[in-house]
Amino acid sequence: MAGVETAQSAQVDNPKTSSVPAEGYDKKCIFCKIVNNEMGTELLHCDEEISCFRDIKPGAPHHYLVVPTRHVGNCKSLSKEHLPLVEQMVKTGKEILQKNNITDLMDVRFGFHWPPFCSVTHLHLHVLAPASQMGFWSRLFYRPNSYWFITADQLIELLNSKGEAN
């Protein structure tokens, strides 16, 4: 996976300049530190709700992580109230791809690792493109309909059904 780390220059959108930790900050969370500019990671997008940066172990030529700017637990802890947040994460992921000249959204993978198979408990959407260029291990690691990876569409459907079941 690390072999696909090329000198891709991603377009930057609204980088955060404040180093003051925001409300909802978990000082032990690596993604909270990244969003608050404590790690020196380039933020490709950052606003009050959503932040985006490159994955350190890319599984595709374009591999971004879209996270809530405030700390939110993993996808298993979400409720129907989080639906707009997840939808905004997907929208931001699509915008980042389009700004980086990825226009074939049929060759993209959007998804989340399902607990306990996520290494960071801060909610994060994997955006991988082109999916057709993912290597063997990446195809396995980010495989839809597996025990360890759920697509964004599947999570949205699951969150929608939570309200109906209650």
- The DSSP call for residue 34 is H
* Helix (H) / strand (E) containing 90: helix 83-99
Determine contact, residues 51/35, Cβ cutoff 8 Å. yes
Side-chain-side CA neighbours of 119 within 13 Å: the count stands at 8
Give the pair of three-digit tokens for residue 95.
């915008």
Is 124 a residue of the active site?
A: yes
CB within 8 Å of 151: residues ≥ 6 apart: 109, 110, 111, 144, 145
Annotated catalytic residue, options 113, 122, 124, 126:
124
- Nearest of 151, 100, 87, 88 to residue 129 by alpha carbon: 100
Query: In the beta sheet, which residues pair with residue 109?
Result: 128
96, 46 in Cβ contact below 8 A?
A: no
Which of the residues are catalytic?
Answer: 124
